Every structure is written in structure tokens, then in C-alpha cells.
Structure 1
Amino acid sequence: MTGAIPAAASLYERVRRVIPPIEWPAFTDDIDAILALKRERNAVILAHNYQTPEIFHCVADIVGDSLALARKAMAIDADIIVLAGVHFMAETAKLLNPHKTVLIPDVAAGCSLADSITPADVRLLRQRYPGVPVVTYVNTCATVKAESDICCTSGNALAVVESLGAPRVIMLPDEYLARNIAAQTRVDIIAWKGHCEVHERFTPGDIRELREAHPGLTVLAHPECPPNVVAEADFAGSTAAMSEYVGRIKPARVVLMTECSMSDNVAVEHPEVEFIRPCNLCPHMKRITLANIRSALEQNRHVVTIEAQIADRARQAVERMLAI
């Protein structure tokens, strides 16, 4: 039989090291449908580094950490944006692309950090610490961003904090990120008690056990991990920084102390590196699947909306971050 080779068939070589051959047929129909729907609807897919390889490497147009997605979203020439990630990321894409349709495949794809703080909490902190600027991690809902002076990500948090020229800042909502940044600056940082349900589970003991089991192991940790975990690691940085480190240093054997799919996605790019995988999954990221990305494009669901007054204030906080 002759004819065009299905698009999905040409993609398997890219992911064969991380997706077993027996699993691949389960993905091909959705991949082919999504690729066709993107063309038909002038749509693009933004995928966070924690998405599974069949999404990250086979249907996504723009990939990266939250900072990269925020920056690249501003230059997208498309009518529709599908955010393969969690809800706060879809809100950020909408803030920066107010005239485009932004879809989130599953509205329940949330975040423990975003759930840990409310706009009322921010207002009370401002009352307690009058005049102290508020730096809010992008892992928050738009209503919290709207109460903030400026946003940050794990990749630019130190630069954002020091850009304010203030002796003291409030940094929300990730306590561990705030404490890890506080160790790198003279700025007095007031932290909140929010934690990432993935990164808070890592311990120094985990790293010591991994080093014992895998001699010569290089350990990279995300700054949402507890400070004692960061102290045990060889390097700490955002998901983008970890990926860059692997590409630049090319350690023979590495472990990424972060969400499980990150290792699979970086491994595709670096077949010469052995990845040890401590598999802590984010239940929210894993709500995004090829099937519901396809449904989002077929049925125009679920459309992300933000009240105009909230959006204007939240956008200012994000744009101040992007200007640094």
C-alpha cells in the first residue's frame, strides 16, 4: 500500500528511548488528529517541561519552564493557544495574549502553591508590613498576581528581588524558594508557608541514598526543594537551568530532583547521559493528556477567562517581571 506516512509515525524515532514500542500505538491517533487540528484552527500548543514526552516532543510548538512560556507567549502568531500545563500557566498566557483564545484541556489541573494563598492573604500582609514590596511567584492565580508589585519565576527570582532596590521584600507563596533565594542575597525576605507537593517530598536522605547506589552521580535540584536538599545537591536551578546544565556539562550520570517527566524530556536530547529517575509525579500536570488536548481543540474547551479589572493589574505584575 502506498500513500502519505502518518505524521505520528515519523515522530517515534525522537522518543523511542523514553516511550516503549508497545505503548506508542496508543498515542498515534491522537497525535495525528492534534497535528491536523492545529493546522485547521491556527492553534499552537505550549507545553511545560513537566509534560509527558508524547506531548512535549510530539505535539507541542513551544516548550520550556514557566518563564520561557511566559516570554514566548507574547510573540505567538495564532488564533488559539492550548496550554499543556496547569491553570495558572494558562492564565498567564491569557494575560499576555488578551485577544487570543486560550484553552486549558482540564480545568482541574491546579497547583498546591497557587492553592496556598489568596488575595486576602496578600492584603493582610501589606497591612502588617506597610511599604514592603510584594514579589509573587508565577505559580499563583491571577487574582493574587493582581495584588502584587511584580512576579518572578524560579529562574529569575534573585534578579527580581534585587531589582527592587528595597532592603526588605515579601516573597510569596513558596517558602522554600524564598529561603533558597534569601541565602543568596542581603535583602531581608519575608516568606509565606506554601509548598510544592512534588518538591517538598524530596529529602537529603534521598540524595545520599542515590549517591551510594549510583557512584559518580551528579545531583541537580529545583529551588522549590527544601534548603537542606538544595545544600546536598551539586547544582540548583529552574527546570530550564537544569536542562542547560545537562547540555553544557554532560555529566555521565545525573538525577534531577524535580517532577518525573522532566528527566524523560531532557533524556531525549542527551542520549549520552544516564538519567537516574526518582519518580515524584505532579498529579495536576498529569491531568493533561493527548486525549484532552485533542478534545480541547475539537470542542473549544476549556476557555480561560479573567475579569478585566483583575487582568489589567495582574498583567502589570507579569510585564514588570518580563522587563527585567
Structure 2
Amino acid sequence: MHALLPGADPDKPVILGEVPEPEPAQDELVLTVEAYSVNRGETFQLDGQLDRTWPGWRPGKDVAGTVVRAAADGTGPAEGTRVVAHPPAYGWAERVAVPTGAVAELPDSVDAVTAAALPLAGITALRLLRAAGPMAGRRVLITGASGGVGHYVTELAAASGAAVTAVSAGPRRGARLVELGAVDLVTAVEEAEGPYDVVLESVGGDSLPAALARLAAGGLLVWFGQASRTPVTLDFFDFFKGPAQARITHFDYTRSESTYGDDLAALVRLVATGRLHPEIGTVRDWSRTAEVIGELRGRRVRGNAVLTVE
């Protein structure tokens, strides 16, 4: 079976190779992959900035396709069912085994390319908003909003009644965020006019302290990423300059009581009913994955990047 393997050359982050067919556990199904999405975290793993989790790791957490082997324990969809899935890895391949609890069925109205953009970014957005609490009537600031998570968060929060200010690297990259409901678009945190009840911060470096300074007294800052790869330095006394009694909480999308399958089903339902619109910046054949990774690293892709497997 063909699959993309981690490359040894920074200019070739992945290479096409041969791997054994997946051997599913009792509660896993096998699907033939029709499309997958590339996440920024996977690019960090490929260049060694994040732990690759285990020996023999291969990338691939967001996939869509058709079940070709149902789970042996009788759970999950039957063979021939179209699905979207969130495996722990190995999805950039012709076939992949996935726990049935990380799968959701697809209606005819949702194609594989659209579905492949949903798992990690969509699940993160859903769980991030749950962690932030009720949105109606609240002023919300989100940094790094031009990526997949930012587009989902903006649309979902705005639909829930929040006044969202989105931070994007440039007006062109952020234009879609306004269409999805953001009331304000700025190109730097320093341009945002607070105070904000909730700040959703994913850039790190100087971005987090600047965002904290715009948080309302008693407000909440949810720290869910560090895309700049630059550590954050905070001054305790900055809390007394405005956001007195404010809270900072770390967010990890994997820590949740709900299953990936439940959240995937919710995302599919929102897309099918026209209430959620995945922002897909590029769609290409999977032979061009290394090229797409380079563009993601250079922040030249807005929203999600999806590859199709022929």
C-alpha cells in the first residue's frame, strides 16, 4: 500500500513509500482514503519541533473516505459507508484503520474534500467554545484567526451572538472572517480595541501579553496554541493594569468527555444544514503534499489545505 512517510530532508518533509496494509483492532474499521487535510501541528512534527509520539509514526489525523472493512466487534458503520474520521495518525495513505468512536457518517450532500477539512480544526473549535462558555452578547478576540480553527470559531461564535474581533496577518487573508460574522478585523493585536470578555490566543510570543492587556476585568483568556513557536513571557503586575481578577487557562482539544465521533457528527450536521462553511484554501493531489506543507509553513494558505488521493 502507498503512504507518505516522514522525509529526512527539510525540503522534502514527506516521501511516497510502501507500507503494510493496516491491521485493525477489534473496535477499528478500515477506510479507503479519498481526501485528507494537513494540520499545522503535523508540519511541526515533521520538522522535529514537536514529538512524533511513537516510533514508526506517520502523519494523518484528518481523513474522509469509504469503509472497506467494518469493525470486528460490530460497532461503527458498515462496509460501503462514506465517513469522516479522526485517527491518531497514519491517514496520509491509501487506507487507514480508525477507532469506530472517531468516525461519523457522511450524507450525500457533504463531499469528501469538505469533510476532510473538519476533524482537528472543527473539533478544536467546538471544544474551545465550550471551554470559553456562553457567547451571546460577549466581546471576543481571537488571534491567528486565518487558519482552519479561526474560521470555524469565528462563524460559530458569531452565530451564537458574540461580537468577534479577528486578528489576521493581512486584510486579504482575513476577508473571509468578516463574511463569516466577525464585526472587526485587525492585522495586529495592538490594533484591537478592548476590553474583551474572552480572548482566544493561539500565537504565543508577544501576542499573548498584548491580548491579555485587552482583556476585561474578570475576563477569560484561553491559550490554545503557540503558532509562532516563540515562548511567552508574562509580567504578574500586568494583571493590575486592566484585567484584574482575570483568568488564563490552557486548552487541549484532546481532553474532553465527548468522543471525536460525537463532535464529528455535530460538525457534519452543521455543514449539511448550511450553518457551517469550511474554508478550504487549496485542494490538490496528494503527490503535492510536500509543496503544500511548505506553503502552510510560510502562511500562504488561508483556512484548510486538502489533498485528494487518487
Same fold (TM over 0.5): no
When you count strand as a share of all residues, which structure comes out higher? 2
Higher relative contact order (CA 8 A, sep 6+): 1
Q: Greater helix share, 1 or 2?
A: 1
Q: TM (normalized to structure 1)?
A: 0.31
Instruction: Output the TM-score relative to the length of structure 2.
Output: 0.32
